[in-house]
Structure 1
Amino acid sequence: MELELQFSSDELSSWADRYGYATPEENARAAATGRKLEEQGYPTLDQLARICEWKTPRSRSHVQKNSDFFAREVTRSCVTSDSERFRIEVLTLLDGVAWPTASVILHFGHPDPYPIIDYRALWSLRVDEPSRYTFDLWSPYVQACRALSKKSGLSMREVDQALWQYSKEKQES
């Protein structure tokens, strides 16, 4: 699968600067919670619910159906695995966590750089919204975003923000 940026990579920084999905405080809270995941090796159930809520507020009650033990074991195995596929797919075992939300957990809480998969970001890379997410979509998306990050010198967070914001402003709803 070939992913192609709809705008010049030289513009990534300016699109990231315009990012407006969440308030700076909400973004900072999600990032701080993600750092705890990275430091501890797993989040508490409340921390996990906060990260997921950042993506979609309605997920909180579903995520809290998981036991602390199950959430800890799933997220710990995600962080310690060397398998890219396992890292994303194991998170979908959690109640309230589908691919987009799993990508948020990886984005904020994994030491390796991961983008957030979202129909907006995909659109910015000339990919139509999928009927379902799969590893065959996820893997090239991650590689494309990592390449953009490396080429531009921007963090994965900035690349993610730029892709989302470009779509927000340019894609017809």
Structure 2
Amino acid sequence: MIDNSFIEFWSKKYDDSDVGSDEEDYREILKKVSQEVNQQGTITKSTFFLILNWKAPRVKGIIKNRCFHEYEEGIKKAIEAPDEQKLQILDELYGIGIPIASTILHFIYPSTFPIMDVRVTEVLHHFGYLKAKTRSRSNYVEFRRIILSMSQCFRCTLREIDRALFAYHKIVLGSKLKACTKH
């Protein structure tokens, strides 16, 4: 069961060098995004690539580097759109997908848009909070509702929940899943 104690215990484990240990990078990106969105209404190319590198470095090879203006305009459009349209706008950009789209939104809106990560969804599925582990637009609505509800109920940030679920997966659940697939 996921509760306050679970979040508190596992969130601290995230800082172990073999688990996450990227909090400094996370905070730097959060600060840059906040400054850029407040000043320009979007994010710069360098910050966009910082986000990609932080979330999924392999995606950088898919992104159209020379067409950054398309991503910049898409991000600006998402910022101006109602909440229920933001994810779709970003997901429709070439090479982005739900995990990256939710990460961009999280850095812009850290208290209202959780990052839909494979490890986090697997933990929520494991504990019975999610019916499906698929990271899709349709599943993001339920995923977001669950994470926001936990945040409110446990009085913690989306980042603390993300850190806790990620660490639990990396240390406990990931090992169990690997053991099950070997048989």
Q: TM-score, normalised by structure 1?
A: 0.83
Q: Say which structure, 1 or 2, has more relative contact order (CA 8 Å, 6+ apart).
A: 1
Runs of 4+ aligned residues of structure 1 deviating over 6 Å after TM superposition are: none
CA contact (8 A) 1:52 1:97 kept: no
2:54 aligns with: 54
* Counterparts in 2 of 1:25 and 1:143: CA distance versus 1, 3 Å: same
**Please, which runs of 5 or more residues in structure 2 have no aligned partner?**
179-183
* Counterparts in 2 of 1:22 and 1:57: CA distance versus 1, 3 Å: farther
1:146 to 129, 145, 148: 148
Q: Percent identity?
A: 22
The alpha carbon displacement at 1:31 in A equals 1.8
- Per-residue CA deviation, residues 101-152 of structure 1 (Å, 9 max, x unaligned), is 111101111265111111211122124532xx32221001001000101111
SS in 2 for 1:7: coil
Distance in 2 between residues matched to 1:33 and 1:64, nearest whole Å? 22
Code of the residue aligned with 1:47 in structure 2: it is T
Residue 17 of structure 1 pairs with residue 12 of structure 2: yes
Code of the residue aligned with 2:81 in structure 1: it is S
Q: Which has the larger radius of gyration?
A: 2
- By percentage of residues, which structure has more helix? 2
Distance in 1 between residues matched to 2:146 and 2:62, nearest whole Å? 31
Code of the residue aligned with 1:96 in structure 2: it is G
The alpha carbon displacement at 1:90 in A equals 1.1
1:115 aligns with: 114
Code of the residue aligned with 2:33 in structure 1: it is G
Code of the residue aligned with 2:9 in structure 1: it is S
Aligned length: 165
* Counterparts in 2 of 1:79 and 1:102: CA distance versus 1, 3 Å: same
1:169 to 132, 155, 171: 171
Q: CA RMSD in A?
A: 2.0
* Counterparts in 2 of 1:66 and 1:142: CA distance versus 1, 3 Å: farther
Code of the residue aligned with 2:108 in structure 1: it is G
Q: TM-score, normalised by structure 2?
A: 0.79
